[in-house]
Amino acid sequence: MSAHGFRFAAFLLALMLSLLAPRVHAGAYEAELPANLATAPDMCALLPCAEVFPGAQRFSQRKGQPPYVEAYDGQDQLLGYVMLSTDITDTPAYSGKPVVTLIGMDKGGHFVGIKVLKHSEPILLLGIPESALINFNNQYVGKSVADTIEVGPSRPDENVIGVDAISGATVTVVAQNQVVMASGAAVARQTGIIAPTVREPARFAASGQTYDWAQLVQMGAVQRLLVKPEQVGLPRGPEPFIELWFGDLNHPDIGRSLLGKNGYERLHSGLKEGESALFVIKTAGAESFKGSGFVRGGIFDRVQVKQGADSFTFRDLDSLNLYGLDAAGAPRYTESAIFIIRSSSFSAAYPWKFAFLGNRVDRATGHRSFAVFESKYWLPAALLEGGRPKVEEPAAPWVRIWKSQALPISLFALLLVAVTVVYAFREKLTRLSTHKNKWPVNGFKYTFWAISIFWIGFGYMAQPSITQVLTWFHSILFQWTWSLFLSDPFIFLFWIFIIVTVFLFGRGLFCGWMCPFGSLQEGIYKISRAIGLGRFQTKLPQKWHDRLKWVKYAVFFVLLTVSMFSMGLAEKLAEVEPFKTTFLVGVMNRAWPYGLFVAAILGVSIFIERPYCKYICPLGASLAMPSTFRWFGLKRKQDCNSCKACAVGCGAQAIDADGRIDHRECLHCLDCMILYTDTKGCPPLAKERKRREKDGLEITPIGKNGYFIPIHPAKVEDQILPKARDGVDPRMPTDPTVPAHKRGVGFVRWLLLELRDHLWPWSAEGWRSQRALQIAGLSLAVAATVAWVMTALGHLSSGAIIGWWFGWSVYEVLIRLSGRRYVKDGPWWRDNYRIAGIMDMMSYVGFKNLMIGAALFLVLQALGLFTP
């Protein structure tokens, strides 16, 4: 990249930082909360409870489980309850962290106030004002916890009350709806506002058989809950943070197997009707599940049982000593207990979860956050009369979103299929067009532009963004969560379309035909020309275009690098995209610098075609790199190396002086494809047509190679203009080549060489030309391998190994350019090799190493050697 490009990129990023700086610490974004908030008995001494319960004069200490506080008026009359969401649920929002919310609810179960104390959603810091989240929460005031409330339109026939979403923050508000309703319901059940759940008591199928420990584990009658130290922010080590085993003591066969006949009968002689028992033992770890702070009369605040929406906690009177396990092969343990559930709403026949509660420490900041580790338990069907009861789990939030918008989602999916099909038949459309009549192509293209601007962009605000690329990148490396991406169906479907079409055709189909902001720029440019401003429209000189086109890659790499250390900062810097201001929030709802930025881009679009797409867009840059290896490209013929007709008309300036198309820059306007078969617009075809007309020869159709089908015994070569015959072949982006070691080999050897080419960057050619670089690379390869091993052993963080992997990738680009300077064009199973340019090699190495790195991370996670 040129020095000018780097300076311009640095200026843009500095400008964005200066605009964002005044708002970095605004509102509840990453707000500091009291360190002892999770355990302090007097919660309202630390939090503004009066703000969520107007009229309350006094608040009690925490009570119940999950905990809540009672709100009283001046005469000590109970008004209602206040709860902290993270005492009840840690449902993550889009950032992967919970939105910490304080909720007030009156005695009748109606919400009276909701206040967000802390969130980690960058879009609510920059893209969308926090007032939008406040307005969203205010929709719950006056509504009942007994209501069925969902994000989206109301459905009176189904008794569903809808709340309006925040445009552009669908995942966040879906998670917030779940937090508010789950928190309210948990407290409402404890206080009698909502009737407790009634479950049929278990009917056991007892055979009198006795099981040993291994059999109990194999059949699922005993379950394990393991918490590793890295899961709570401690250094990884060989010992777990805590290892627990637990199981049912109600079934006669299981109870007698674990406690022995006498122990089982003694336990159940002390249980009342409707009470249930379970055992817990700790087999490893320094942590205690009872808690060092437990006192007589208190509660066990580190363990609980969950069944459906109900939570069951234990006081000292609910705990019995477990003196030993009778099952053969039972492990040694250092801590044990029998817990009694004294509620008839619990049934051993239904699935339940054993939960260990604790705090997770952020090693970077030292902050503590609420954490719950759960393990599911359900008695085997063979041990229950009639088998397991049918349990209908509530649909996941993303499922409800898809169902509520089934029609528009279906129409959107059909639109994406239609665009793909139309483009797949582009050659038929371009053959029907001429340089004077492009409507067979433009009729479809203009229609898709209009749909993308008004329906997709302004209507459903489904503008893809570089932040989604960064999120996908992090998810591949660290933790893939389908529900996170499925929560926004339009964006999810759009990305499936983008990924498929980028590898088939390159980025141009999305960027040139379906990107809402790109279509808006193009629409402004075309309309300006139509109303008489065409004489003022121009292109940048090619030398400046060739320099400035690298800026978008610099912006993308900066964002990607920053995201490795701080996703929040990367989202702030992603304001270099004007998409949020244009479609998600609106120019009138943002500070003037954001509106000025959008106005400047759209203003320049009057005179220069798609300036943002060509020079700044990091999303376009991220899609351009895999476009290097698209399967199908646009057609070229030998005469294109000397004819400049296509290059002159290329608005994306993606055709070089040799007639070659840079598919990373091409936006697929298809004007060059129209000329390719236009017998009056394509100069070589026009010349051949005139010659045949003059000589009275047949005017044959245009073949797939872009030339007239030969008249026997003429040859195609006879139609090539003399000055083009000895020039470069413009049908490939760079000169074709075939590696010497891949010539004339069998299939098996071809596969082995293919694998070697991807994994072993060194070569004899490189050894002769860059020996020092080759030797240095061997040392770096050893160091990178050691880094992966250290990561597996827990001695390096994910950030450190990513840094090492990035360094190795930079070196691999250099060493391949010095020796194996080739890449493939088109499908990988074909040997269409060509000489690699710098960006070709960066694209290849970057994408290849991303896939290898992701695979290694997944293997380490599967083996339990790495936890994000």
Torsion of CA 550, 553, 555, 561, to 10 degrees: -140
Query: The tokens of 700 are what?
Result: 């044959």
pLDDT at 156: 80
pLDDT, position 772:
64
Contact (CB, 8 A) for 187 and 68: yes
Contact between 9 and 553 (Cβ < 8 Å): no
CB 126 within 8 A of CB 20: yes
- Rounded CA gap, 161 and 743, in Å? 68
CA dihedral for 79, 89, 26, 582, sign (positive or negative): negative
Handedness of CA 416, 419, 420, 422 (dihedral sign): positive
* Positive or negative torsion for Cα 266, 267, 268, 272: positive
Q: At what angle do helices 838-862 and 771-792 cross, to 10 degrees?
A: 20
Q: How far is CA 547 from the centre of its chain?
A: 32
Q: Where are the beta strands (DSSP E) in 552-632?
A: none
- What contacts 152, CB < 8 A, 6 or more positions away? 162, 163, 165, 400, 401, 404, 405
Q: What is the DSSP letter of 772?
A: H
Residue 552: name the closest of 507, 600, 613, 501 by CA. 613
CA-closest candidate to residue 188, choices 69, 105, 99: 105
pLDDT of residue 754: 87
Encoded tokens for 705? 């190679």
For 659-690, how does the pLDDT look when each residue is reduced to its tens digit (9 = 90+)? 999 999 999 999 999 999 999 999 999 999 99
Kindly report, residue by residue over 501-519, the tens digit of the pLDDT. 999 999 999 999 999 999 9
Return the pLDDT at 678. Answer: 94
pLDDT for residue 292:
54
List the structure tokens of 559.
């964002």
> Are 385 and 203 spatial neighbours (Cβ–Cβ below 8 Å)?
yes
What's the confidence (pLDDT) of residue 122?
63
Q: What is the pLDDT of residue 237?
A: 76
Q: Hey, what's the torsion of the CAs at 656, 660, 666, 671, to 10 degrees? A: 100
Spell out, as residue ranges, where the chain has pLDDT lower than 70.
1-27, 94-96, 122-128, 167-171, 291-298, 362-370, 476-481, 484, 765-781, 784, 787-801, 861-862, 864-868
Beta strands 148-151 and 160-163: pairing type? Answer: parallel
* 339, β-bridge pairs: 278, 319
What one-letter code names the amino acid at 239? E
Residue 18 is predicted with a pLDDT of 37
Whether the CB-CB separation of 228 and 255 falls below 8 Å is answered with no
* Residue from 663, 618, 626 nearest 468 by CA: 618
The pLDDT, as a whole number, for residue 404 is 78
pLDDT tens per residue across span 682-697? 999 999 999 999 988 8
Task: Read off the pLDDT of residues 52-68 as tens digits, 9 standing for 90 and up.
Answer: 999 999 999 998 878 89
Phi, psi at 553, each rounded to 5°: -70, -40
Amino acid, res. 402: W
Token couple for 722: 């003399």
